[in-house]
Amino acid sequence: MIRLNILIATVFPLPGGGIWSFVSNLSEKLVKQGHKVDILCTSDNNSKVVILNGQTIVNLNPYRSSVQRRLLRAVPHVINNPWVYHAEMNRYVFEQGVSTIDLTKYDIIHAQDVLCAVALSRLKRAQVPLVTSIHGFLSGAIFHQYKSINLNMSHQEIWNTFVLRYYSRMEQIGYEASDYIHTSSYWLRKIIETQFNISPSKIKTFKYGVKLSDFIHESSPWKVNGKKIILANSRLVYLKGLHHLIEALSFLKSRNDWECWILGEGELENSLKKDCKNLGIEKDVIFWGNTSKVKEILQQSYMLVLPSLLENQPFAVIEAQLLGVPTIVSDAGGLPEMVEHNKNGFIVERENSRKLSERIEYLLNNQEKRDQMSQYAKVQGEKMWDVNRLSRNTVQLYANSIKLHQK
């Protein structure tokens, strides 16, 4: 087997988040197979580019003034749109920082987002393959973020804004610059094929993977202080749909047998807490913030609920399944590809708080069904989310990319 020198790269900070779950599981497996892997990312609020576990640290602040001057000289009106202005500043500053790093030693570059793919496609040697794993629908996420503060605008009006047209264009460039694109869901694959007109032959779809030995399923107590724990594990932002979960829980406030724990941080924390108070469930919903004890909390949970408005394939669901926790998810994005309705969880219509409440209550009332779902989730999860399959598929993708450049 050929030993490869691989650069895995992203514009986002690591460790942390779903990208880190993917990168850390994959890179550990690749290293065990004999490959050399460097992980490039940002840190300290986009003020540095670093290679983890290495000596490379690039301070980005010295580049900001010159990038700003060139950007405003080339596109003076961009300053009037803060969303695009800050995105362009960060993109070009990132590119300037990475340009000081020696990329010639890598046999393949594996980007983890389209913005990174755009930057590295301009910096790498032409003969070095660029593979990009797409973990989410970027402009779709921006759409929901924009919608949350412009509720009176129609969907089409939002898609026609300069902001959405900018992010859609960045996605297009990133896809076109990549030799191959990896998606974990067929939902995301279809978007890339149809909305961005990318050839199906360029897109490879295979599931995420984790180290199964990290998920030892122990007998769960199901109750904490006499109550069944309803868990939500996500960023506290609009597109995660947690406001629908809180409304759903308000329909159950006459019961005293449940408590909801919400893991994560985000811009909507105060708003969500206010919703809980207004709906009379502030004592029943506990906001944990970020925690390193996700697996331990999952072991205590009766169910996981993810009512997202937009989602690819979150590791929160993968971890829950491997620990035998039934999941109730919305029908958004790639979530229906993860959950078998009525077998390891339920799929409900997005933004339908009443239906979500009914499914939560059904599980609260039916422990036998919950336990059946738990067993099925564990068995199927081990078949679906094995890191060995992920590494085999990824190495094959690398080999195809290298072969493409040898023609």
Q: Over the stretch 280-296, which tens digit does the pLDDT of each residue have?
A: 999 999 999 988 889 88
Residue among 362, 230, 374, 254 nearest 306 (CA): 230
CATH code, 143: 3.40.50.2000
Are residues 42 and 73 located together in one domain of the fold?
A: yes
Residue among 289, 285, 199, 273 nearest 235 (CA): 289
Are residues 219 and 265 located together in one domain of the fold?
A: yes
- Structure confidence at residue 127 as a pLDDT band (50, 70, 90): very high
Are residues 205 and 249 located together in one domain of the fold?
A: no
What mean pLDDT is predicted for residues 136-150? 93
**Ramachandran assignment for 289, one of left (phi > 0), alpha (psi -120 to 50 degrees), beta (any other):** left
Q: Over the stretch 231-265, which tens digit does the pLDDT of each residue have?
A: 999 999 999 999 999 999 999 999 999 999 999 99
Compute the mean pLDDT over every residue in the chain, rounded to the nearest whole number. 93
pLDDT(1) > 60: no
CA distance 272 to 275: 5
How many domains, the chain?
2
Are residues 12 and 161 located together in one domain of the fold?
A: yes
Are residues 180 and 245 located together in one domain of the fold?
A: no
Are residues 251 and 380 located together in one domain of the fold?
A: yes
pLDDT(341) > 60: yes
pLDDT(386) > 90: yes
pLDDT(2) > 90: no
Are residues 72 and 217 located together in one domain of the fold?
A: no
Are residues 294 and 195 located together in one domain of the fold?
A: no
Q: Which residues of 112-121 are buried (b: 16+ CB within 10 A; e: fewer)?
A: bbbbbbbbbb
Burial label for 251, CB within 10 Å (0-12, 13-18, 19+), is: middle
Are residues 357 and 398 located together in one domain of the fold?
A: no
Residue 243 is encoded by which pair of tokens? 């406001």
Are residues 78 and 165 located together in one domain of the fold?
A: yes
Are residues 267 and 366 located together in one domain of the fold?
A: yes
Are residues 173 and 249 located together in one domain of the fold?
A: no
> What pLDDT sits at residue 226?
83
Query: Which residues on neighbouring strands pair with residue 133, listed in sequence order?
Result: 182
Q: Which domain holds residue 273?
A: 212-384
Question: Is pTM, for the whole model, over 0.75?
Answer: yes
> What pLDDT sits at residue 407?
65
